[in-house]
Amino acid sequence: MNDEHWRAIVECDPASDGRFFYGVLTTGIFCKPSCKSRTPKREHVRIFASADEALRAGLRPCKRCQPHKADWRSPDEELALRVKQLIADCFPEPLTLGEIASRLHVSPYYLQRCFTRLMNCSPAQYLVHTRIEAAKRLLAETRLSIAEVAMQVGFRTGAYFAHVFHKQTKQTPTQYRTCAERNEQEWP
Protein backbone atom coordinates (compact mmCIF):
# COMPACT_ATOMS: atom_id res chain seq x y z
CA MET A 1 0.00 0.00 0.00
CA ASN A 2 1.34 3.40 -0.94
CA ASP A 3 0.71 6.81 0.62
CA GLU A 4 -1.83 7.74 -2.06
CA HIS A 5 -3.96 4.69 -1.18
CA TRP A 6 -3.74 5.50 2.52
CA ARG A 7 -4.66 9.16 1.97
CA ALA A 8 -7.75 8.10 -0.04
CA ILE A 9 -8.82 5.72 2.75
CA VAL A 10 -8.30 8.26 5.55
CA GLU A 11 -10.09 11.03 3.60
CA CYS A 12 -12.90 8.71 2.38
CA ASP A 13 -12.15 9.93 -1.15
CA PRO A 14 -14.99 9.07 -3.59
CA ALA A 15 -12.73 9.90 -6.55
CA SER A 16 -10.72 6.77 -5.72
CA ASP A 17 -13.73 4.47 -5.82
CA GLY A 18 -13.33 1.84 -8.51
CA ARG A 19 -9.57 2.35 -8.74
CA PHE A 20 -8.93 0.07 -5.78
CA PHE A 21 -10.54 -1.59 -2.78
CA TYR A 22 -9.09 -2.10 0.66
CA GLY A 23 -9.48 -5.00 3.01
CA VAL A 24 -9.13 -4.91 6.77
CA LEU A 25 -7.45 -8.19 7.63
CA THR A 26 -8.46 -8.18 11.30
CA THR A 27 -12.18 -7.90 10.50
CA GLY A 28 -12.20 -9.83 7.21
CA ILE A 29 -14.13 -7.04 5.48
CA PHE A 30 -13.29 -5.06 2.33
CA CYS A 31 -14.51 -1.58 1.41
CA LYS A 32 -14.43 1.16 -1.19
CA PRO A 33 -12.06 4.05 -0.40
CA SER A 34 -15.05 6.35 0.20
CA CYS A 35 -16.55 4.13 2.92
CA LYS A 36 -17.46 6.13 6.02
CA SER A 37 -16.65 3.26 8.39
CA ARG A 38 -14.05 3.88 11.08
CA THR A 39 -10.52 4.26 9.69
CA PRO A 40 -8.58 1.04 10.29
CA LYS A 41 -4.99 0.79 11.45
CA ARG A 42 -2.66 1.05 8.49
CA GLU A 43 -0.85 -2.19 9.30
CA HIS A 44 -4.15 -4.12 9.07
CA VAL A 45 -5.00 -2.87 5.56
CA ARG A 46 -4.38 -4.68 2.27
CA ILE A 47 -5.09 -3.17 -1.17
CA PHE A 48 -6.99 -5.03 -3.91
CA ALA A 49 -7.38 -4.11 -7.58
CA SER A 50 -10.96 -5.43 -7.75
CA ALA A 51 -13.82 -6.61 -5.57
CA ASP A 52 -13.42 -10.10 -7.03
CA GLU A 53 -9.80 -10.18 -5.91
CA ALA A 54 -10.85 -9.28 -2.36
CA LEU A 55 -13.57 -11.94 -2.40
CA ARG A 56 -11.06 -14.55 -3.61
CA ALA A 57 -8.80 -13.57 -0.71
CA GLY A 58 -11.59 -14.61 1.64
CA LEU A 59 -12.86 -11.17 2.63
CA ARG A 60 -16.55 -10.31 2.74
CA PRO A 61 -18.03 -7.04 1.43
CA CYS A 62 -18.82 -4.19 3.79
CA LYS A 63 -22.55 -3.87 4.47
CA ARG A 64 -22.26 -0.10 4.62
CA CYS A 65 -20.57 0.74 1.29
CA GLN A 66 -21.42 -2.50 -0.59
CA PRO A 67 -18.24 -2.55 -2.70
CA HIS A 68 -19.21 -5.76 -4.51
CA LYS A 69 -22.18 -4.18 -6.28
CA ALA A 70 -21.31 -3.16 -9.83
CA ASP A 71 -23.94 -0.42 -9.97
CA TRP A 72 -22.90 1.40 -6.82
CA ARG A 73 -23.16 5.16 -6.73
CA SER A 74 -21.77 7.62 -4.29
CA PRO A 75 -24.25 9.47 -2.07
CA ASP A 76 -23.63 12.61 -4.13
CA GLU A 77 -24.41 10.74 -7.36
CA GLU A 78 -27.60 9.39 -5.77
CA LEU A 79 -28.57 12.93 -4.78
CA ALA A 80 -27.94 14.24 -8.32
CA LEU A 81 -30.10 11.45 -9.75
CA ARG A 82 -32.88 12.24 -7.27
CA VAL A 83 -32.71 15.94 -8.24
CA LYS A 84 -32.93 15.07 -11.94
CA GLN A 85 -35.90 12.77 -11.29
CA LEU A 86 -37.67 15.38 -9.18
CA ILE A 87 -37.18 17.99 -11.91
CA ALA A 88 -38.39 15.56 -14.60
CA ASP A 89 -41.52 14.81 -12.56
CA CYS A 90 -42.29 18.33 -11.32
CA PHE A 91 -40.84 20.82 -13.84
CA PRO A 92 -44.20 22.53 -14.51
CA GLU A 93 -44.39 23.47 -10.82
CA PRO A 94 -42.74 26.65 -9.48
CA LEU A 95 -39.56 24.93 -8.23
CA THR A 96 -36.80 26.83 -6.45
CA LEU A 97 -33.51 25.57 -5.09
CA GLY A 98 -34.97 25.81 -1.60
CA GLU A 99 -38.05 23.82 -2.59
CA ILE A 100 -35.99 21.06 -4.23
CA ALA A 101 -33.65 20.91 -1.23
CA SER A 102 -36.59 20.75 1.16
CA ARG A 103 -38.22 17.89 -0.74
CA LEU A 104 -34.94 15.94 -0.72
CA HIS A 105 -34.12 16.80 2.92
CA VAL A 106 -30.73 18.42 2.24
CA SER A 107 -29.43 21.96 2.59
CA PRO A 108 -29.74 24.22 -0.48
CA TYR A 109 -26.01 25.01 -0.30
CA TYR A 110 -25.02 21.33 -0.31
CA LEU A 111 -27.50 20.54 -3.09
CA GLN A 112 -26.20 23.38 -5.29
CA ARG A 113 -22.54 22.47 -4.75
CA CYS A 114 -23.02 18.73 -5.22
CA PHE A 115 -25.28 18.95 -8.30
CA THR A 116 -23.12 21.57 -10.02
CA ARG A 117 -19.94 19.55 -9.45
CA LEU A 118 -21.43 16.36 -10.89
CA MET A 119 -23.64 17.76 -13.67
CA ASN A 120 -21.60 20.82 -14.73
CA CYS A 121 -24.70 22.99 -14.38
CA SER A 122 -26.78 24.27 -11.50
CA PRO A 123 -30.17 22.78 -10.60
CA ALA A 124 -31.78 25.99 -11.90
CA GLN A 125 -30.00 25.64 -15.26
CA TYR A 126 -31.04 21.99 -15.46
CA LEU A 127 -34.65 22.97 -14.68
CA VAL A 128 -34.65 25.58 -17.46
CA HIS A 129 -33.14 23.04 -19.90
CA THR A 130 -35.85 20.50 -18.99
CA ARG A 131 -38.59 23.08 -19.45
CA ILE A 132 -37.22 24.21 -22.82
CA GLU A 133 -37.02 20.60 -24.08
CA ALA A 134 -40.64 20.03 -23.04
CA ALA A 135 -41.62 23.30 -24.73
CA LYS A 136 -39.92 22.19 -27.96
CA ARG A 137 -42.02 19.02 -27.96
CA LEU A 138 -45.24 20.96 -27.35
CA LEU A 139 -44.41 23.54 -30.00
CA ALA A 140 -43.69 20.85 -32.59
CA GLU A 141 -46.57 18.50 -31.72
CA THR A 142 -49.47 20.76 -30.66
CA ARG A 143 -51.26 23.91 -31.73
CA LEU A 144 -51.21 25.43 -28.22
CA SER A 145 -50.53 29.15 -28.09
CA ILE A 146 -47.11 30.32 -26.94
CA ALA A 147 -48.63 31.48 -23.63
CA GLU A 148 -50.28 28.07 -23.10
CA VAL A 149 -47.00 26.28 -23.82
CA ALA A 150 -45.25 28.60 -21.38
CA MET A 151 -47.74 27.80 -18.62
CA GLN A 152 -47.66 24.05 -19.26
CA VAL A 153 -43.87 23.87 -18.90
CA GLY A 154 -43.66 26.03 -15.79
CA PHE A 155 -43.05 29.60 -16.95
CA ARG A 156 -45.30 32.24 -15.40
CA THR A 157 -45.53 34.51 -18.45
CA GLY A 158 -45.32 34.06 -22.18
CA ALA A 159 -42.91 36.99 -22.50
CA TYR A 160 -40.38 35.54 -20.05
CA PHE A 161 -40.74 32.12 -21.68
CA ALA A 162 -40.06 33.63 -25.13
CA HIS A 163 -36.99 35.42 -23.76
CA VAL A 164 -35.55 32.27 -22.15
CA PHE A 165 -36.46 30.12 -25.16
CA HIS A 166 -34.65 32.50 -27.51
CA LYS A 167 -31.63 32.65 -25.22
CA GLN A 168 -31.40 28.83 -25.14
CA THR A 169 -32.24 27.99 -28.78
CA LYS A 170 -31.36 31.19 -30.69
CA GLN A 171 -34.92 31.12 -32.09
CA THR A 172 -38.22 32.51 -30.92
CA PRO A 173 -40.89 29.94 -30.06
CA THR A 174 -42.79 30.91 -33.23
CA GLN A 175 -39.68 30.46 -35.40
CA TYR A 176 -39.05 27.08 -33.78
CA ARG A 177 -42.65 25.96 -34.46
CA THR A 178 -42.42 27.11 -38.09
CA CYS A 179 -39.16 25.19 -38.61
CA ALA A 180 -40.64 22.08 -36.99
CA GLU A 181 -43.70 22.27 -39.27
CA ARG A 182 -41.49 22.68 -42.35
CA ASN A 183 -39.40 19.67 -41.36
CA GLU A 184 -42.55 17.55 -40.92
CA GLN A 185 -43.78 18.54 -44.39
CA GLU A 186 -40.45 17.55 -45.98
CA TRP A 187 -40.70 13.96 -44.71
CA PRO A 188 -42.39 11.61 -47.22
Query: Domain ranges in the chain?
Result: 3-61, 73-188
User: What span, in angstroms and rounded, lies between the C-alpha atoms of 153 and 84?
Assistant: 16
Top-confidence residue, 140 or 19:
140
- Checking if the pLDDT of 186 tops 70, the result is no
pLDDT at 70: 61
Q: Under CATH, what is the fold of the domain 3-61?
A: DNA Methylphosphotriester Repair Domain (3.40.10)
CA distances from 123 to 80, 92, 103, 163 (A): 9, 15, 14, 19
Q: Under CATH, what is the fold of the domain 73-188?
A: Arc Repressor Mutant, subunit A (1.10.10)
pLDDT at 67: 87
Which residues are catalytically annotated? 31
Give mean pLDDT, residues 84-105.
Answer: 96
Q: What is the mean pLDDT of the chain?
A: 91
User: What span, in angstroms and rounded, lies between the C-alpha atoms of 2 and 34?
Assistant: 17
Give mean pLDDT, residues 113-127.
Answer: 94
pLDDT at 171: 94
Number of helical H runs and strand E runs in the chain: 9, 4
Most confident of 12-26, 28-42, 72-86: 28-42
pLDDT at 19: 83
DSSP 33: T
Give mean pLDDT, residues 157-174.
Answer: 95
CA distances from 2 to 56, 127, 148 (A): 22, 43, 61
Q: What percent of the chain has pLDDT over 70?
A: 95
Contact 16, 41 (CB under 8 A): no
- pTM value > 0.75: no
pLDDT-based confidence at residue 184 (cuts at 50, 70, 90): low
Of the ranges 1-5, 8-12, 66-70, 119-123, which one carries the lowest mean pLDDT score?
66-70
